[in-house]
Amino acid sequence: MKQIVVISGKGGTGKTVLSGSLAALANNKIMVDCDVDAADLHLLLHPTVKERHEFRSGQTAVIDKELCKRCGKCISVCRFGAIKDDFTVERFSCEGCVLCSHICPYGAIHMEENVAGAWFISDTSYGPFIHAKLGIAEENSGKLVAKIRQIAKEIAEKHVFGHIIIDGPPGIGCPVIASLSGVDCALIVTEPTLSGLHDAQRVMEVARHFNIPLKVVVNKYDLNPVITEKIENFCHGQSIPVVGRIPFDETVVKALVERKIIIEYARSPAGKEIRKIWDELRA
Amino acid sequence: MIISIASGKGGTGKTTVAVNFALSLKNIQLLDCDVEEPNAYLFIKPRIKEELKAYIPVPEVDEAKCNYCGKCREVCAYHAIAVLPGSEGKKGSVLIFPHLCHGCGSCSLLCPQSAIKEVNKEIGVIEIGEKDNIHFVHGCLNIGEAMSPPLTRQVKKYINPTRTVIIDAPPGTSCPVITAVKGSDFCVLVTEPTPFGLNDLILAVEVLRKLQIPFGVVINRSDIGDGKVDSYCEEENIPILMKIPFSREIAVSYSEGMPIVKKDSLYQDKFINMYLNICTIINEANSRH
């Protein structure tokens, strides 16, 4: 079984369009949307949810007004500025470290577990799909990513699937690291802009740092052929294979609006290139 | 006044809006708080005057004082400490996993032997510079570092309240975004008129409502896609501050790090109008309270 994750560093370079297409092209696979902050793949895959599970993670301090003597010890030890002057806890700042609860001389602070989101096992016309929704303004997205990847792996092993296709988040932080760990290939999709190049280089370094094999796709490559060449030269210098150049194609937006996968449009130049990319990846 | 620029979905044009907005106004401080992928400097090209390393405190155990009681492991909510108790004739040991540490200080404060002190671990750099009317600050997270909020908080310590502060936030809806936009007087949400843009805009709106920060929307590439973002904003009574139509020319200038206002001065007026519009919205909100 091969795990392929699509990441980009910079947001909006085409991760979901590409991973949705790969998921449609692969036989015998399971799909995972690891962009749990702002998940979009479900908009293309139209899942029917079979199972819904609560995601509990982290905790928040709660101060008992009756017991609190307003001594201020908690405020002085909290490094996250989460306890306000009126001795209430600011939910979004509390990182659940429990120090205030340990230090309170009156036992007035207890911790409550956060319901930080939910994850789903769904069916789609392309196959099974694991996705999640992080609660609004919640943390621990890395843990939620690790959770849904674990579930996907269990299902893939049970059904002897050939591929796990993962739609990754933008950036280089904790959910990206959780999406990358242990995959067989990180497919980096970038665009020929200075930001695209800069961000792709950083995420390539992250993948290298964790010894993940890398491949690169340049999306909308014809928007700036000079920078496309720069990206390709950079990859060449680092011995990173560039497995595709997707042209700018208005059908991509049309497909998005119709909430369809681009490879369903037989004449789309972008769709054709993505088919080639898939042939390259599975070879 | 602090105005942050955010979006649920990535790549909708946050940096484009932040940079062009900053270039259109006077007495600006631009903070790039997308510390995982900071890009604003590619467009502003500031002269960097100061480069400071950013650290978080992580524990270090003095094994001469430690009796391997395990209290530190027990109080660490992030499982960043493991303690192997000693056995007959064999010393115990304490293992620290700095990547899991949030720097809360529980272990050092609560150690009965006072055997733990905190040492600095580098997580990234903060660079401070200038360009014309813009005072520029950004953070850049080290590769392999998982947690961006501590660095973002340190970048925000440089906020200069005598200037109009513009914060370029990271994408998403979780802790990195919250840390960046918290404390703003207003937030501009940049989106695009596609189902992805709308889906992630709705999530971002929920975040701002929870944080009680007033906000408005900029629709980028406004003439592609469909009209559902427009109708959503109308239903929800969310002001649309600006629309930027798709143009291959804008896309190409963006790709080369060229701000729109430098190519088309009409955009400068649009950004000034957006600023005036934001001031009116903030004033109206304040007078209601």
* Phi and psi torsions of B100, nearest 5°: -90, -15
Work out how many CB contacts closer than 8 A connect A with B.
182
User: B122: part of which helix (H) or strand (E)?
Assistant: strand B116-131
Regarding whether A169 and A130 lie in a shared domain, the answer is yes
**C-alpha separations of B281 from A203, B20, B74, B287 in Å:** 39, 21, 49, 10
Separation in Å, CA of B271 to nearest CA in chain A = 22
Q: Judged by CB atoms within 8 Å, which residues 226-265 of A form the interface with B?
A: 227, 250, 253, 256-257, 259
Regarding whether A201 and A146 lie in a shared domain, the answer is yes
Residue B241 lies in a domain: yes
Q: What is the domain-level CATH number for residue B159?
A: 3.40.50.300
Bridging pattern class, strands A214-219 and A242-246: parallel
Regarding whether B38 and B68 lie in a shared domain, the answer is no
A137 has a chain B CB within 8 A of its CB = yes
B109 has a chain A CB within 8 A of its CB = yes
Torsion sign (Cα): B276, B169, B289, B236: positive
Chain A residues touching B12 at Cβ < 8 A: 11-12
Regarding whether B89 and B231 lie in a shared domain, the answer is no
Regarding whether B225 and B90 lie in a shared domain, the answer is no
The answer to whether the CB atoms of B176 and A173 lie below 8 A apart is yes
| pTM of the shown model | 0.94
Q: Which of A59, A78, A136 to probe the B interface (max B CBs under 10 A)?
A: A136
Closest chain B residue to the Cα of A170, Cα to Cα: B10
User: A42: part of which helix (H) or strand (E)?
Assistant: helix A41-45
Regarding whether B34 and B156 lie in a shared domain, the answer is yes
The tens-digit pLDDT sequence of chain A (283 residues) is: 999 999 999 999 999 999 999 999 999 999 999 999 999 999 999 999 999 999 999 999 999 999 999 999 999 999 999 999 999 999 888 999 999 999 999 999 999 999 999 999 999 999 999 999 998 878 778 999 999 999 999 999 999 999 999 999 999 999 999 999 999 999 999 999 999 999 999 999 999 999 999 999 999 999 999 999 999 999 999 999 999 999 999 999 999 999 999 999 999 999 999 999 999 999 8
Pair of tokens at residue B84? 């192997």
Regarding whether B139 and B231 lie in a shared domain, the answer is yes
**Residue (of B129, B138, B135, B142) closest to B55 by Cα position:** B142
Q: Judged by CB atoms within 8 Å, which residues 211-230 of A form the interface with B?
A: 223-224, 227
* CA atoms within 13 A of residue A162's CA, in its CB half-sphere: 9
Residue A52 lies in a domain: no
Bridging pattern class, strands B47-61 and B28-32: unpaired
For residue A132, the enclosing domain spans: 2-46+125-282
The answer to whether the CB atoms of A98 and B77 lie below 8 A apart is yes
Closest chain B residue to the Cα of A97, Cα to Cα: B77
Pair of tokens at residue A264? 């369903």
For residue B43, the enclosing domain spans: 2-55+124-288
The tens-digit pLDDT sequence of chain B (289 residues) is: 999 999 999 999 999 999 999 999 999 999 999 999 999 999 999 999 999 999 999 999 999 999 999 999 999 999 999 999 888 778 889 999 998 899 999 999 999 999 999 999 999 999 999 999 899 999 999 999 999 999 999 999 999 999 999 999 999 999 999 999 999 999 999 999 999 999 999 999 999 999 999 999 999 999 999 999 999 999 999 999 999 999 988 899 999 999 999 999 899 999 999 999 999 999 988 887 6
Q: What is the domain-level CATH number for residue A169?
A: 3.40.50.300
Regarding whether B46 and B149 lie in a shared domain, the answer is yes
For chain A, how many structural domains are there in total? 2
Chain A residues touching B251 at Cβ < 8 A: 223
Residue B119 lies in a domain: no
User: B84: part of which helix (H) or strand (E)?
Assistant: strand B81-84
* Phi and psi torsions of B267, nearest 5°: -65, -30
B37 has a chain A CB within 8 A of its CB = yes
- Using CA atoms, how far apart are residues A29 and A51, in angstroms rounded to an integer? 19
**Residue (of B153, B139, B222, B169) closest to B3 by Cα position:** B169
- Using CA atoms, how far apart are residues B159 and B162, in angstroms rounded to an integer? 9
Q: Judged by CB atoms within 8 Å, which residues 179-208 of A form the interface with B?
A: 191-196, 198-199, 202, 205-206
Q: What is the domain-level CATH number for residue B85?
A: 3.30.70.20
For chain B, how many structural domains are there in total? 2
Regarding whether B171 and B209 lie in a shared domain, the answer is yes
pLDDT of residue B85: 86
Regarding whether A24 and A158 lie in a shared domain, the answer is yes
